Copies of this chain bind each other. A is one copy, B any other.
Amino acid sequence: MNGTGFALIARDGAARRGRIATAHGTIETPAFMPVGTAATVKAMWPEQVKATGAEIILGNTYHLMLRPGAERIAALGGLHRFMNWPGPILTDSGGFQVMSLAQLREISEDGVVFKSHIDGSRHALTPERSIEIQHRLDADITMCFDECTPFPATETAAAQSMRLSMRWAGRSRRAFAERPGYGLFGIVQGSTYPELRAESAQALADLGFDGYAIGGLAVGEGQAEMFRMIEATEPFLPPERPRYLMGVGRPLDIVGAVGRGIDMFDCVMPTRSGRTGQAFTRRGTLNLRNARHQEDPRPIDETCRCPVCRDYGRAYLHHLFRAGEMLGPMLLTAHNLHFYQALMAGLREAIAAGRYADFAKTWAAEEASGDIEPMPDSLEGGNGGA
């Protein structure tokens, strides 16, 4: 395949500094993709998303097929025009959300039949239909339709599920219409079994894709296990293609995964936690709802250069969340996305300068030095819709 281009600009150990070329623009990697589930990155105007430094956003096949419908978006000029995001878009295939959100799902060799979580209506997703929907949305990067293996899974169940996903990857590849600037990514499965991960990566590499994702992680296995799975997979992924770790993650998850050869990430954490009052800082997370912030004029993070940290104090953000004002989620989402993009920019610079290891060490030390308020459980490990 040769839809989306990928140029490797620098390497520093296993860490990579690259550039992806798509129909709607280029993406500097390592890259973080904000999640725009239902044709909007929640609480943000698209120009504000761009101003954080984001170059590509993620959309969700599952949500968009149910509402407003892929055919309707196509008739309105595609997802970019519909939501006023002229830059690159990657769409998830629906495989993950069908398992986490839909009701009464039945999986067969053909695909998945399920009921909508919105209105109970009956729908089907197959590899062919998922690819068709992503084509209608005009996604720059299309993901293969896969089964999200439940966690934990026995090795037998994980193998069966992974091999079904590999057959679906073949069908996705055949259904995909190759066009310059439009790419199709395969998704490695295999739960927490290194041999299955290797088998899956090899199977996808044999088929040949524009990029390779690692799926089925950040589901509760923990960071050490996640890193072990990346290490088991990475040697089998063609180095000349971008690698995407799906649904990850916390800042230190991203730093560690970049050091293991990952180029792309998405996660609901900065957006979802922004809506619940959680702010990311270099010294850990703050919960702005906490009463200790109510008279504090300091910005969220004194080292941050985002417009929220420039113009607003913690006391004001605390007030907005206490009063239930929409501007609270709006400001905190903007800060968190800026924070994530600043992390990615720092990683890109460090790799280009050959000082990834220093960067990673400093980041971990600063985060450990801080006064971290725990994230709510619901934010742990989720890689569902934003």
Chain A residues near B (Cβ < 8 Å): 38-40, 42-45, 67-68, 72, 75-77, 82-84, 294-295, 297, 311-313, 315-316, 318-320, 322-323, 325-327, 329-331
Contacts and interface: CB of A to CB of B under 8 A. Distances in A.
A40 B327 contact: yes
Given A39-B320, A43-B327, A82-B319, 19 more contacts: A38-B325, A39-B316, A40-B320, A40-B326, A40-B327, A42-B327, A43-B326, A45-B330, A68-B315, A68-B322, A72-B315, A75-B295, A76-B315, A76-B316, A82-B315, A83-B316, A84-B311, A326-B329, A330-B330
Nearest to A328: B40
A272 to B, nearest CB: 12
Question: Which applies to chain A's interface (DSSP): helix, strand, loop or mixed?
Answer: loop
A331 B313 CA distance: 25
A82 B323 contact: no
A323 B38 contact: yes
A326 B319 contact: no
A86 B42 CA distance: 27
Contact of A40 (B40, B67, B315, B325): B325
A84 to B, nearest CB: 4
Nearest to A296: B76
19 contacts: A38-B319, A39-B319, A40-B326, A42-B326, A43-B330, A44-B327, A45-B327, A45-B330, A68-B322, A72-B294, A72-B315, A82-B315, A82-B316, A84-B311, A84-B312, A84-B316, A326-B326, A326-B329, A330-B330
A313 B79 CA distance: 12
Rank and list the top 10 A-B pairs by shortest CB-CB distance, nearest first: A84-B311, A40-B327, A68-B319, A43-B326, A38-B323, A40-B325, A82-B316, A76-B297, A76-B315, A42-B326
B322 A330 contact: no
Given A39-B319, A68-B319, A319-B68, A76 B327 contact: no
Contacts of A311: 84
Listed residue (A72, A313, A315, A327) with the most chain B CB atoms within 10 angstroms of its CB: A327
